[in-house]
Amino acid sequence: MKTHMFHVLLFFSLAKSAVVPSVPSHLRDCYRSSLADSQAPRRLDVYLSLLRKLELNNQLDMRMFSTALLRSLRLDGIEQSSANAVETEFLLPYRASSFQFHKYKLLMDIFLPSQNLINVDETLPVEEKCLLHEMLSSTVRRWERGDENVVCPVSAQQSQTMVTQSSTRINSRCPIEEGVIQTNWGTVSPGTLVAAIATSLEPQRVSVTDILNANIFKQDIAEPMMSSAKQEWFENIETLPNDQGNRWQSDIPEISNIWVATLAGDLAEVVVNQGPRVGAVAQNMSIGTNSRWNDTLLPRHHYIFPPDGSIIDWHFTDAEMLAGIDGLILAQYVPKWVEQRRTLRLSQVLDMYYSNDGVSFEPTVRACNRRTLFNNLFNSTDLVTEASKFAYVLSLRQITVYMPVQEMERITNAAVTAFDNYLSAFLRQNHNECRVSNSVPVIDLIVATDGSWKGNDVEEFMSWMGGALESSLQRGTMSLLHGNSGQWIAPPSHNLTTVFSHIKNYTDQWPNRLNLPTVMSSVLRHSLNSSLMEIANNASGALSTIVLIISPSDRPSATEMEQARSLMSSLRTTYFDVYFTYVAENLSDFQVISEYMDYSELFLRTPSTRVQNVIDAVDDFLLKNHIPSRLIGPQCPFNNTVFKQVEYEDFVLPNRPMYYRIHPFYLQQQPLIQVQFRNSGQGELLVCMWRGAEASHSCQTIEERGTHAFNLTNPCPSPDFCLPAHFTVAATSSSNTCAHNDCRLPHEVGYYITHTGLRCLPLRALGRILQSELSVIVSALLILKSIIYIL
């Protein structure tokens, strides 16, 4: 107990300055065995959603935010300290004892002095905090876990060589690399990216002699190492004449923090860790990793397949290399962009760089142009100079044999040669052509599945879907209904972290078949809930709800069909903008559920029950289908209350038009409808209107701060037949000034929509009655039906 107290005190006194290898108190929860890992995909969209939340709750500029982020949530090289260590309330069997720690410590102690200005616990619940910590912190879980026979089964020949290992802890054949996320342009280490951006906003060149003199550096280096270093540095410099005194290739013995944060830092790890073993032989140096995600649709574990199971050779992983390259590219531009727009956020830079559209300030800067951008800036000579100096400093901390400067240069030259040899094939492998991007619908999505998919299939689909909806989830939601019971497995959430947390917590059986009536009843209750909410908020527009029924194999019974048809006709009396999308091998049953075509149904045929087939169908026919948001009429005057609608605010990106629809219900029996768009001043807009499937659109440009009103006189002359009204809003130019919290990206252009003359919806009068009656759903529906007819 006493020794423990001592450690705690020591920790606190050091914490303000130097980075220490023990897990800091705010991250200890992440290493408790009671906390299971987040099941959310390790992917860019999930990472950005976590960053965004932290950014919006800590109004720091990008420079302060990124250093504080590294301080508070990154700690490289954490590993379990021994196989049978016991966890107690006070003791955690984890510490940063692996090689990655040393580089991180030097970076934070010397090259990027910083304070922890973020109180993560105030913003992120433990699961989100730990996921972000894991994504930012490089380490490799190297010990055998027990699932290797499933994940990386051995051939008979390999198993011969495996037996030779005899220690109590066995290396895994496929260790797991942490601190990595998947992007469309390869797997990267976000910690490296953040460090690159942080250093670029605080660029420094630190002289080697200053480092050797710094207490924070010297304090735990063995005396013999330090004195050899002093001898080589200070004594030589004093005794030799000026022009020979410097033994470095470059004139100034200084190290750039941007290089330390990126490629030179990781290359130095190769030099220091492999150099003493293999010498200055490029062919014998191991650069890059043979690694892959075990499931590309649901990237959770990133496995490394080392060529020789007994040697650690992941000193410079593919993900670190790619992030180092992207980091160096971004470091060239970010300071300039921040100069232009002080409010620019880290999440926005990464969001735009890893997109087909590129960064709004300089659209050619994007991951699909990585090869060109990198070839224009990279010079191996610089890498040799920076890496050899940093390797020298790193070696003093990390290894016990003193390596003189010249030796370090020889090995670094070999390592850079190995890097150069690896580079072009590597960049080719991770290359993905720039494409024209399309609009991603902003929707509330409800998914229900039948018995043909097990939990893992559903999770793969939800993971893909969340990625495909991109960050539109910031406004839209995603949810999962149990296809049989109609209960929420995951209620509507704005991000995959929460969706997967609900799925993990869900312990009941997965659906064994689809029960369409229970699903529809839940949709009906949910629609009532959201409509009452919209009325309370005086909404004039809202997202559309998409109910995605994935039933590749199940067929409804005759009774279910009967109930489903009746429920659907009730639903359609009030909830016009709930889209039903059915995915099935045989669609004939689903096609006859609705009595009439209501402009809100989609039927997608899938050739099989395979997840990938369903994904292809949903991608082609739902996502690319421009699902419009809805403009809705007010609540009808009720008990002398008048409902005054509030403006609907929205944002549009250049090349990504937004779509709106007014359902015919709101147009019927109305003499004049006016829909007005008001530009809030971040660019120029083009708004268009048309009816039904008309080819001719009536369009109008709206200048910054301008408005335009569309007038629909007598929009539905015939009582039997009326077409919906459609609108699009496109940004024709952007001033890049969207600084609003709701703006995902700086080049979004904001606008407001208002309308008058829409027919009102008599819902609230029914609301109270319905709320109490809904427990017996089907009977309540009959009540709803009759009331609507009375009104």
Ligand X SMILES: *[C@@H]1O[C@H](CO)[C@@H](O)[C@H](O)[C@H]1NC(C)=O
- Chain residues in the site for ligand X (CB under 6 A): 49-50, 53, 128, 147, 150-151, 281, 283-284, 294-295, 301, 379, 381-382, 493-495, 497-498, 501-502, 505, 522, 525-526, 529, 537-538, 586, 588, 639, 643-644, 646, 709-711
Rounded to the nearest whole angstrom, what is the least distance from the CB of residue 274 to ligand X in the complex? 11
Residue 664 burial (CB count, 10 A)? 20
Nearest residue to 58 via CA among 15, 107, 120: 120
Burial 384-406 (b: 16+ CB within 10 A, else e): bbbbbbbbbbbbbbbbeebbebe
Rounded to the nearest whole angstrom, what is the least distance from the CB of residue 536 to ligand X in the complex? 6
Which one, 126 or 468, has the nearer CB to ligand X?
126
Which one, 701 or 711, has the nearer CB to ligand X?
711
- State how far the alpha carbon of 277 is from the alpha carbons of 273, 311, 408, in Å: 8, 11, 13
Which one, 590 or 651, has the nearer CB to ligand X?
590
Rounded to the nearest whole angstrom, what is the least distance from the CB of residue 774 to ligand X in the complex? 9
Nearest residue to 763 via CA among 441, 444, 535, 485: 535
Which one, 104 or 582, has the nearer CB to ligand X?
582
Both structure tokens of 509 = 């059986």
Both structure tokens of 349 = 């830079």
Rounded to the nearest whole angstrom, what is the least distance from the CB of residue 284 to ligand X in the complex? 4
Q: Tokens 């996921």, residue?
A: 131
Burial 120-156 (b: 16+ CB within 10 A, else e): beebbeebbbbbbbbbbbbbbbbebeeebeebbeeee
Start-to-end Cα distance in the chain = 75
Q: Where are the beta strands (DSSP E) in 9-164?
A: 78-80, 94-96, 139-143
- State how far the alpha carbon of 474 is from the alpha carbons of 39, 194, 444, in Å: 19, 22, 11
Which one, 35 or 91, has the nearer CB to ligand X?
35
Which one, 49 or 629, has the nearer CB to ligand X?
49
Q: Where are the beta strands (DSSP E) in 404-543?
A: 443-449, 477-481, 488-493, 541-542
Rounded to the nearest whole angstrom, what is the least distance from the CB of residue 525 to ligand X in the complex? 4
Which one, 230 or 525, has the nearer CB to ligand X?
525
Rounded to the nearest whole angstrom, what is the least distance from the CB of residue 388 to ligand X in the complex? 14
Which one, 126 or 216, has the nearer CB to ligand X?
126
Question: Do the beta carbons of residue 658 and residue 650 sit within 8 Å?
Answer: yes
- State how far the alpha carbon of 151 is from the alpha carbons of 172, 288, 292, 459, 465, in Å: 11, 21, 11, 18, 25
> CA geometry: angle at 610 spanning 609 and 616, to 5°?
105
Q: Is 567 helix (H, G, I), strand (E, B) or coil?
A: helix
Rounded to the nearest whole angstrom, what is the least distance from the CB of residue 154 to ligand X in the complex? 16
Rounded to the nearest whole angstrom, what is the least distance from the CB of residue 702 to ligand X in the complex? 12
Which one, 366 or 526, has the nearer CB to ligand X?
526
Rounded to the nearest whole angstrom, what is the least distance from the CB of residue 340 to ligand X in the complex? 28
Which one, 231 or 505, has the nearer CB to ligand X?
505
Q: Is 414 helix (H, G, I), strand (E, B) or coil?
A: helix
Which one, 49 or 680, has the nearer CB to ligand X?
49
- State how far the alpha carbon of 638 is from the alpha carbons of 641, 690, 762, in Å: 5, 32, 8
Rounded to the nearest whole angstrom, what is the least distance from the CB of residue 47 to ligand X in the complex? 10
Rounded to the nearest whole angstrom, what is the least distance from the CB of residue 250 to ligand X in the complex? 8
Distance in angstroms (rounded) separating the CA atoms of residues 132 and 126: 10
Could you please report the per-residue DSSP string of 340-409? Answer: H-TT--HHHHHHHHTSTT-BTTBTT-SGGGHHHHHHHH--HHHHHHHHHHHHHHHHHHH-SS---HHHHH
Distance in angstroms (rounded) separating the CA atoms of residues 463 and 248: 51
Which one, 432 or 591, has the nearer CB to ligand X?
591
Rounded to the nearest whole angstrom, what is the least distance from the CB of residue 225 to ligand X in the complex? 27
